[in-house]
Amino acid sequence: MSKETLRGLGLFNLTGRCAVVTGGSKGLGLAMAAGLASAGADLVLVSRHAEEAAATARDLSAEFGVRALGLAADVRNEAEVEGFVAAAVAAFGKVDILLNSAGINIRRPIAELKLEEFEQVLGINVTGTWLSCRAVLPTMRAQGWGRIINISSALGSIGLAGRTPYTASKGAVLQLTRTLALECAADGITVNAICPGPFLTEMNRSIADTEDGARLVGMTSLKRWGRLEEIQGAAIYLASAASSYVTGSTVTVDGGWTAQ
Ligand SMILES: NC(=O)c1ccc[n+]([C@@H]2O[C@H](COP(=O)([O-])OP(=O)(O)OC[C@H]3O[C@@H](n4cnc5c(N)ncnc54)[C@H](OP(=O)(O)O)[C@@H]3O)[C@@H](O)[C@H]2O)c1
């Protein structure tokens, strides 16, 4: 999205908003962070690798003329999560938007999975999302306005063999989203989820040219991978005034996968 097209549109204008994006250093998180910046939002990008997060922040700042910080944190670590929220508040005075995109996938049949692997996926995808939501609530409640956007998946509501940790985690993200929306309804804070279908990010690179990848794409109605820019509209919509009457809901961007 270009800043010229979006900043002119009041409903979608995010100028003056501070958006924290976990997993913002690459993939869908980076694409959505760029979308928010194109609408005017300042950014705090979080991943486990400081230099990568900082370099991405510098690039987006230069491209969109917004302020951007890149910080290292593991979303499973309570103190580190509290730390990046505190750093965002110190830099921008508040957090208006939290977009939880940090996530991983481990694909294998249940009999071939170790307990640690199941716990790793749940720890990042669910506990990390929960900790990040909890950490931003005081600053959002203090200003009576906030937008929380959690990244679930088409696999949050349908099953797929060989993905027990991932589907369990993404289903949990949907229920966390709905319940937190109810808890925050009186505070001016909306909580919604985006359910993407298959996008060719690092997460899917290893299956891109395999039967597994072809099967995944074949399950979509559009019969193709999503393009990274195709996730941006959903994030901008859920972060902006355009979605003020939408909470506890999901926006599905899956090429028609779950329409079937
Ligand atoms: N790609 C798809 O087809 C697809 C479909 C549906 C849903 N999703 C969801 O979309 C989200 C983004 O996926 P993606 O495809 O963009 O994956 P990706 O390209 O692998 O990016 C994942 C991001 O999360 C960060 N991350 C991973 N573990 C973290 C941790 N413990 N603490 C902080 N940051 C962490 C990674 O940075 P570091 O590794 O440097 O920490 C990276 O920035 C995930 O929640 C995923 O489940 C993806």
pLDDT digits (tens, 9 = 90+) for 49-72: 999 999 999 999 999 999 999 999
Residue nearest to atom 20 of ligand 1 (CA): 203
The one-letter amino acid code at 31 reads A
Distance CA 85, CA 69 (A): 12
Q: What is the pTM of this model?
A: 0.97
Cα of 175 to ligand 1 centre, how many Å? 19
Judge if the beta carbon of residue 226 lies within 6 A of ligand 1: no
Q: Among residues 12, 64, 84, 166, which one is catalytic? A: 166
Residue 86 has which token pair? 């505190």
pLDDT tens figures, 132-185: 999 999 999 999 999 999 999 999 999 999 999 999 999 999 999 999 999 999
Residue nearest to atom 47 of ligand 1 (CA): 103
The one-letter amino acid code at 220 reads T
User: Measuring CA to CA, which residue among 11, 80, 12 is closest to residue 50?
Assistant: 80
Q: Which domains, from first to last, does the chain contain? A: 3-253 (3.40.50.720)
Question: Are the beta carbons of 150 and 126 closer than 8 angstroms?
Answer: no
Rg (CA), the chain: 17
What is the atom index within ligand 1 of the atom nearest the CA of 74? Answer: 32
Distance CA 247, CA 116 (A): 34
Judge if the beta carbon of residue 103 lies within 6 A of ligand 1: yes
Task: Report the relative pairing of strands 18-22 and 42-47 from DSSP bridges.
Answer: parallel
- Phi/psi of residue 71, nearest 5 degrees: -130, 150
